[in-house]
């Protein structure tokens, strides 16, 4: 009887309540703690919280194709960089009074440009990469990411590998983006919207096809689904969301460089997804929090913090199936 209750409705309810309870507590903490930090005059940790929220959006977008779609993209940070440059380049031209009718500080223009170009690039990359599988898919996505990296390195007008300073943040009606707390809540609200969007996508018929193609693509094809089109659509959606995160990141850092779209940056996003738990909508947020907190903690002891962090990641992959989200599920049982 005990075995039945653990796997029956009561067991599922316990698992759901533990996981959802942790998610709700985390979202409340992200809404309340930064206000307390800002009131205490600690700008550093507010910056960490803002970076956490922005990178969480990028990690959630990667998880849509990695965790739910089984598409291991090693060039996902390219969309992050494209989104950031879609803010920096128009602002650069606006500073010198060039193309005033188009290149202004209009936030809606920056966001639309970031999302559109990121989606277009994802469409091109996905149309080619999705014709391959396994390690070939990984290598081609990384190759496209490095192509974009070296493209921006070669653009001397925009700072090349030295980067480009963004002199003013995007202007949005009713939102003072120059205020650190107001900008944080813009990013926090964006994270909530993206989490809801991805939740609806993965639980829709479209999302079920994507997850089915991850498990057995041949069977999904035999059922009459064009898995290539579905996976390509998911790839484009993920790229567009990451491009939006890049626009926020560019505004936050006020400095952009090709380094933010290097393959190592894509690896960091992948670490966040794995740490938090792939195939979990909220998992990447947990992973981003763990990644940034460990980075701050370990870097305070040694400049070679990547070594102990890498060892911890290996141990988590080996012994904590499903990341932190998987651990919470097991605790719920």
pLDDT digits (tens, 9 = 90+) for 139-179: 999 999 999 999 999 988 888 888 888 888 888 888 888 88
Contact 181, 42 (CB under 8 A): no
Full residue range of the structural domain in which residue 148 is found: 2-332
User: What confidence score (pLDDT) does residue 207 get?
Assistant: 92
User: What confidence score (pLDDT) does residue 205 get?
Assistant: 93
Q: Nearest CA to 305 among 317, 292, 315?
A: 292
Phi then psi for 256, rounded to 5 degrees?
A: -130, 150
CA dihedral 170, 175, 180, 186 (to 10 degrees): -90
| Number of structural domains the chain divides into | 1
Contact 54, 241 (CB under 8 A): no
Contact 81, 149 (CB under 8 A): yes
Give Cα separations from 154 to 36, 246, 255, 259 (angstroms).
Answer: 43, 20, 17, 13
CA-CA distance, 293 to 314, in Å (whole number)?
A: 18
User: What confidence score (pLDDT) does residue 3 get?
Assistant: 37
Contact 309, 295 (CB under 8 A): yes
Check which CATH number belongs to the domain holding 193 and give it: 1.10.3470
**Residue ranges in the chain modelled with pLDDT below 50:** 1-15, 101
């Amino acid at each position: 009887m005990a075995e039945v209750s653990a796997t029956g409705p009561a067991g599922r309810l316990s698992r759901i309540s533990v996981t959802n309870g942790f998610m709700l507590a985390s979202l409340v903490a992200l809404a309340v703690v930064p206000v307390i930090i800002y009131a205490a005059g600690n700008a550093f940790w507010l910056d960490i919280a803002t970076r956490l929220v922005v990178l969480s959006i990028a990690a959630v977008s990667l998880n849509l194709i990695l965790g739910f779609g089984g598409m291991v993209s090693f060039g996902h940070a390219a969309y992050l960089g494209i989104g950031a440059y879609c803010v920096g380049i128009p602002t650069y031209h606006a500073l010198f009074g060039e193309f005033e009718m188009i290149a202004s500080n209009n936030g809606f223009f920056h966001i639309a440009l970031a999302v559109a170009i990121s989606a277009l690039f994802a469409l091109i990359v996905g149309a080619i990469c999705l014709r391959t599988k396994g390690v070939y898919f990984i290598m081609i996505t990384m190759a496209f990411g490095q192509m974009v990296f070296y493209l921006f390195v070669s653009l001397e007008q925009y700072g090349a590998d030295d980067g480009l300073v963004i002199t003013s943040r995007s202007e949005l009606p009713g939102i003072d983006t120059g205020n650190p707390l107001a900008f944080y809540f813009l990013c926090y609200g964006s994270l909530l919207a993206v989490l809801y969007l991805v939740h609806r996508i993965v639980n829709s018929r479209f999302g079920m096809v994507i997850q089915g193609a991850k498990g057995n693509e041949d069977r999904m094809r035999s059922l009459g689904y064009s898995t290539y089109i579905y996976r390509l659509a998911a790839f484009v959606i993920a790229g567009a969301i990451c491009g939006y995160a890049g626009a926020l990141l560019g505004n936050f850092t006020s400095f952009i460089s090709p380094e933010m779209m290097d393959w190592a940056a894509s690896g960091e996003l992948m670490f966040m997804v794995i740490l938090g738990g792939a195939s979990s909508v909220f998992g990447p947020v947990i992973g981003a929090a763990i990644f940034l907190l460990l980075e701050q903690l370990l870097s305070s002891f040694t400049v070679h913090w990547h070594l102990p962090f890498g060892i911890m990641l290996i141990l988590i992959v080996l012994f904590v199936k499903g990341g932190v989200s998987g651990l919470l599920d097991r605790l719920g049982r």
